[in-house]
Amino acid sequence: MIIVIGAIRLILWTLWLYSVTVTALPLPLNGLNKTVSLFETTIRVLGGLLSAHLIASDYATGMRVPSYDNQLLNLAEDLGRRLLPAFDTPTGIPFGSVNLLHGVDKHESKITSTAGGGTLTLEFGVLSRLINDPIFEQVTKNAVRGLWARRSKLNLVGAHINVFTGEWTQKDAGIGTSIDSFYEYLLKAYLLFGDEEYLYIFQEAYAAAMHYLYHDPWYVEVNMDSAAIVWPLFNSLQAFWPGLQVLAGDIDPAIRTHAAFLSVWRRYGFTPEGFNLASLTVQHGQKSYPLRPELIESTYWLYKATRDPRYLDAGRDMIASLQYGTRCPCGYCHISDVEHHNQDDHMESFFLAETVKYLWLLFDLAVGPDNLVENGPYKYVFSTEGHLLPATPQISLVREHCLYHGAYCRSEDLRQSYRVSEADNDKQESNNSRFHAGWTKARYSSDLPTFDPTAITGLIKGVCPGLTHGQKFGILYVYPTEEHHAHETEKPKEPTHEQSHSVVVLTEPNFDHALTDYSNDHNDNQTHKSDVTS
């Protein structure tokens, strides 16, 4: 077994080294008249440049390149400034696309996805802290606030929104397509930057997702206002969720959901883009597998948390599928139809940046924690594109964060203890899922013995104890005028029943039983046939 794992590590290590180079290659920006996706350019190009810069410039890791002189950071700053015009909107939520030479075209669509507007905080925040210019971090934080301020009364967000009016143009709430990494970056921004505002939003959003979207072990899409099911579908992008739950300390539901998702992979050899939970068939028009990493990513995180060898078995099956089903002369090909394993001559950059990387990390961890990620000088946060972002003092010091962002406290208040109200504690549980205790207590600069608050006069930019999260951060709803007063007195909906926790796993040859628990537990939710295609 060790010999097999060692061979796998060698193959995957070679591909990972190649991925660091490929995903960090700079675009020829000077004079480039090209309209690009803000989201994809940020997570792939900007993130790649920043991650490669941090590795190439760091003495502590032993990987510093002697001749390197911030060339990649300079390119990242140039690219970041070319992306900034996208944020010039009334809501603060950015346009989906921007021209690298001319800014936003006057005919550019005003509709963007929640993920597209809310998955920029890590890359832009790191850039701000590396070049000491807060503008990048400020605009992306405003974008998150703009999206969260327009959440529904159920604390759910929709899939698409008008960046000028703030009106939701698609109100389907879920954890998959168009929304997925919004949740991911809320938690990861807190982990990397120590900013409690992101943690608060994540806790509220996560609790709502577990209450309204979680039909153990699957997740569905619902109307963000009424919670009525509109789309009983396993979307392949949902497969990142168990990994995120590991980071949040919510392991049990992660294990069950991963088992359900893995059963789809093992049925077809890959996960299709869509799998219909009502008919238990591949969703029409969503039969492809574009080498996505999400299920592999969750497999790595669950193995890291549990050291259960079943996740090594899962990784082995995934490698076999990729090697024998997707290998083609110049790399690895998309699968256009998971039922017939037809190949499409295309390979996305995330195959090297994520799919291969998480496989290597999985098997390398099985041999021993002797790599940079497990035993390096810092803790690392992976971006949604799999780029390593180290929690260096320059990026993550809590005391630096406290001085970096504005709030309301005077210096003497920083020594007071932080208290979590009973109401806040009640909000941290949903569907028998609990947040890790470590997430519930904030760390402020007063926790650091080297910080002397008396050295700073006047108002300290920190957070006052004794206030609710909403008071601290000024996070409010944006209501239609006629609904505002009615909603002010409405209490959040509490869970009305306990959900069963039996694992629904797809097994050959008969799948009809797989959603028995799902159907029995949720007969009260009306699903219209017109909303589901099979």
Active-site positions read 40, 180, 273, 294
34 token code pair: 């090209």
Give the helix/strand (H/E) hosting 389: strand 388-390
Residue 469 vs residues 140, 423, 483: alpha-carbon distances, Å: 20, 11, 23
Residue 14 vs residues 134, 248, 366: alpha-carbon distances, Å: 37, 31, 18
Amino acid at 153: K
488 token code pair: 């002010």
In contact, 331 and 345? CB cutoff 8 Å: no
516 token code pair: 């028995």
512 token code pair: 């009809």
What are residue 99's phi and psi, to 5 degrees?
-85, 130
Q: At CA 426, angle to CA 421 and CA 429, rounded to 5?
A: 135
Task: List helix spans (H) across 132-250.
Answer: 135-148, 180-193, 196-212, 241-248
For residue 488, count other CB atoms closer than 10 A to its CB: 9
In contact, 161 and 168? CB cutoff 8 Å: yes
Amino acid at 427: K
Distance separating alpha carbons of residues 138 and 80, to the nearest angstrom: 13
What are residue 457's phi and psi, to 5 degrees?
-100, 165
Torsion of CA 326, 328, 332, 338, to 10 degrees: -20
Question: Residue 384 annotated as binding?
Answer: yes
For residue 482, count other CB atoms closer than 10 A to its CB: 7
Q: What residue numbers does the annotated binding site for Ca(2+) cover?
A: 384
